[in-house]
Structure 1
Amino acid sequence: MTSELVQPSPRKYVLFDVDGTLIDAVDNQRRVWEMWAGRYRLDADEVYRVALRTRPTETFAQVAPDQDPTECLAVLHELEDEDVRSGVYTAFDGASELLGTLPASSWALVTSNYEHRVRGRFARTGLPLPRVIVDAAAVEEGKPSPVPYLLAAEQLGAKPEDCLVIEDAPSGVEAGLRAGMTVWGVNAAVAVDGVHRHFGSLCEAVPDILAFARPEGSAGMG
């Protein structure tokens, strides 16, 4: 009598965006940009409207073209660092359960922010930190480039096709798709173009994310 060898399913990994996905930082971001606009005597609502859809350097070029962009960025960083120290942050419902359940070696953070701010925000909200954090300083090309997500997969020892990206923003979704990964969208009323699955909230997605992460899981692109 012979028995067939059963090949184990590939290990699965989950790569999370941070702001807007795990941590609700909308009020913090608005407050920081309002203070930044005040430094330059600019209309805060207009500055924030532009900042929502562009990178900081592009925002400076549009709303303060006569100002030194290096100085503008330094002021923004100063305000962001102060907000991490003194601002109030909230983790989205389900984030603590989700990150606390996933094996530490099976997930990573991929953020357009800087690692020291991420660590500060996680400390304020009580969320656990993974071994791998890919931040703005780790790559020359940020989202929507696939580079940040590909680097996270490399550091985890994962193949892109075995990775699930959890995102809330179009640029992050595009980055994950270009990296050849499964991409699920959360925390938006309407699905971002291209996502394989859409959830109105992170909490709603928790059971499915955990199912994907199980070695025997095959939630994939359903």
Structure 2
Amino acid sequence: MPSVFTARALLLDMDGTLVNSDAVVERCWRRWADRHALDPAAVLEVVHGRQGHATMAALLPDRPPAENFAENALMLAEETADLDGVVPVAGAPAFLAALAGHPHALVTSADETLARARMGAAALPLPPVVVTAERVSASKPDPEGFLKGAAELGFAPEDCLVFEDAEVGIAAARAAGMRVIGIGPRAAAHHPDVQVASLELIRVAAAPEGGLRITAG
């Protein structure tokens, strides 16, 4: 049975939700794991959804934060230069087309340069509001990014609906007091309000009372 939500605005994660960048993420972070003599599989378990410096802090807890921020800058450049295999998530082009003219924001742990590169490689339009890594003081699972996106669109958290794929992103949406639709297999274990295999299972329509009516499933 499909689930139905109404919302005044939508807040969208990028990697894993709109853009499939898994191939790049795995290449870059496997190389990073090898440089630090870490198990690549263990690294890939925690990398999704976080800013790179936050991943590094989790995996190298004794390393000074300044070193994580410096290496994160190198990692962002490496990821931005590697767009091989970056494609839209199934259903993303039609989903974003349906949102044209409606309030929605991109809230991503990527910086602006990487976000623009990946959305461009996937041939997806940038939403009217974009909240990237350099615009927040804390990475997901902190709710700051989602709260900033809601505020810039002019809506209260309870009026927003989040689309996310990663554990930390779903936790950030919850901490912001927002409902969340999980996209793809990674989301299933992290208890979103509802989880769907892809954006192909999302339908968007104007709600009679105003705002949007979202059908999932």
Q: Under a length normalisation based on structure 2, what TM-score does the superposition of the two structures give?
A: 0.80
Cα contact 1:164–1:181 (8 A) shared by 2: yes
Aligned letter for 1:22? L
Unaligned runs of 5+ in 2: 1-5
42-51 or 116-125, larger mean C-alpha shift: 42-51
- Is 1:159 the counterpart of 2:156 in the alignment? yes
C-alpha separation in 2, matches of 1:218 and 1:101? 11
Larger Rg: 1
1:139 aligns with 2:139: no
* Correspondence 1:102-113 to 2 at 5 A: 102-113=99-110
Matches within 5 A, 1:81-160: 81-88=77-84, 89-160=86-157
Offset at residue 63 of structure 1 (A): 5.0
1:70 — aligned with what? Answer: 66
**In the alignment, is residue 211 of structure 1 matched against residue 205 of structure 2?**
yes
| SS of structure 2 residue aligned to 1:100 | helix
Q: Give the 3-state SS of the residue equivalent to 1:116 in structure 2.
A: helix
Is 1:23 aligned to residue 23 of structure 2?
Answer: no
Q: Find the partner of 1:169 among 166, 170, 178.
A: 166
**Secondary structure, aligned partner of 1:191:** helix
The answer to whether residue 33 in structure 2 is matched with residue 37 in structure 1 is yes
| Gap change, CA 1:148 and 1:97, over 3 Å in 2 | same
The size of the alignment, in residue pairs, is 210
TM-score by length of 1: 0.78
Q: Deviations over 1:180-211 (max 9, x none)?
A: 22211111276344422221212212x1xx13
Cα deviation code 1:130-183 (max 9, x no counterpart): 121111211213322222111101101122222110011122112212222221
The answer to whether the 8 A contact 1:160-1:179 is kept is yes
Give ranges in structure 1 of 5+ residues lacking alignment: 1-9
Looking at structure 1, the residues matched to 61 and 152 of structure 2 have their Cα atoms a distance apart, in angstroms, of: 39
Residues 220 and 202 from structure 1, CA distance in 2 versus in 1: closer, same or farther, beyond 3 angstroms?
A: closer
Distance change in 2, residues 1:105/1:155 (3 Å): farther
Could you say what the CA RMSD is over the residues aligned between the two structures, in angstroms? 3.1
**Where is the strand percentage greater, Structure 1 or Structure 2?**
2
CA distance 1:58–1:142, shift in 2 (3 Å): closer
CA displacement 1:56-87 (0-9 Å, x = unmatched): 44554565567665345433432332332332
Percent identity of paired positions between Structure 1 and Structure 2: 34
Match of 2:3 in 1: none
In the alignment, residue 143 of structure 1 is paired with which amino acid? K
Q: Are the equivalent residues in 2 in contact too, given 1:182–1:220 (CA < 8 A)?
A: no
Mapped contact 2:12–2:164 kept (Cα < 8 A): yes
Question: Secondary structure at 2:188's aligned position in 1?
Answer: coil
